[in-house]
Amino acid sequence: MALAVLVCGSAAYADRNDIRITDLGNPSQFANPSAEPRDRQPSANYNAEANGDFRAFARTFAAVMTSANLMPPETLGHAGFSINAELSVIGLPTPGREDGQVTIPTEGAPTNPLLLPSVHVRKGLPFSFELGARVGWIDRSSMFAATGELKWAVNEGFTWLPDIAVRAHVTRLMGNKDFDLTAAGLDFGVGKQFPLGGMVTLTPYGGLDLTGVAASTETLDFNQNRARDPIVTPPTYPGLDNTGVYQEVKLMENINSRIYGGVRFIGGALQLGAEVSLSNQGAIEVANTQTGATRNRALPAVLSFSTTLGLDF
């Protein structure tokens, strides 16, 4: 409930970490491409590599949204239930268009590191399955990331063998304007629970998460100072030029690989945990819309540290 109040309360205005996607630039070289060549005018805010910048931003912000697992591979059991408060501290890359740099087009100077507090609920199911949901708020913004997940423990509870699980997850960014961003993938985890006496256990774990990224926009107006004509009903925007659409970022063509490791402590019903995560984004091919030339652009890794505090029943 507190998270809902925070999100709703910040929606009325643009905070410093809200995304203004048009700041990445207009991918259309001409404001009126359908006109005769001699009559074409250059676009406002034109950026020859705007499509590449949008793709780099989408992959990086998807890595931010999916930067935490915070649970070992073992399931809760068919009658188990868990609720946790979580916090991820995420280092953002240096802004820019060169290798190892990505521009996050925020309303103000983005906070770095970025904080992502979350509420995570999990419910055990029969046959070593587990269903989970997480809602995380992007600090100082009106955006939040909603995640649904289904985990299956291939092997768990054996004395001399580690626990192994596969987790399918989908995360969608909400509260954002002018663009859609979704991340979905498969997480392969391994861990082992060690009893410390009585009802106290310690569980180190680690894994590999492969996440695909999908993003798209509708037609965007890159002239943010355009004044509408209020006399016409419905209102019109005279001289509707300087518009454009970023190339769609496709899920199966944009895969981030994330490695993580952590430890969980349970004493009675109390659950504590910490985790370190590193998302490797590899490189993308960027095309110049003016010259048609392409180049490979390396994207930076995203490092995060996450903690959790909750109750395990």
237-254: per-residue pLDDT in tens? 444 567 889 999 999 999
Query: HSE (CB half, 13 Å, CA atoms) of 124?
Result: 17
- Residue carrying structure tokens 């591979």: 73
The string of pLDDT tens digits covering residues 84-101 is 999 999 999 999 988 999
Residue 230 within a domain: no
Structure tokens at 174: 């909400």
Instruction: Name which of 222, 136, 139, 132 is nearest 174 in CA terms.
Output: 136
Task: Calculate mean pLDDT across residues 121-143.
Answer: 96
Residue 236 within a domain: no
Mean pLDDT across the chain, nearest whole number?
Answer: 89
Instruction: Name which of 33, 28, 23, 75 is nearest 54 in CA terms.
Output: 23
CA distance linking residue 187 with residue 191, whole number of Å: 13
Residue 60 within a domain: yes
Residue 268 within a domain: yes
**Confidence (pTM):** 0.89
Domain count, the chain: 1
Residue 231 within a domain: no
**Can you give the pLDDT at residue 28?**
87
Residue 261 within a domain: yes
**Can you give the pLDDT at residue 237?**
45
pLDDT level of residue 43 (50, 70, 90 thresholds): confident
Q: Residue 85: give the domain boundaries.
A: 2-11+24-29+43-222+245-312
Question: CATH number, domain at 177?
Answer: 2.40.128.100
Structure tokens at 256: 């981030």
Residue 97 within a domain: yes
95, 112 contact by CB (below 8 A)? no
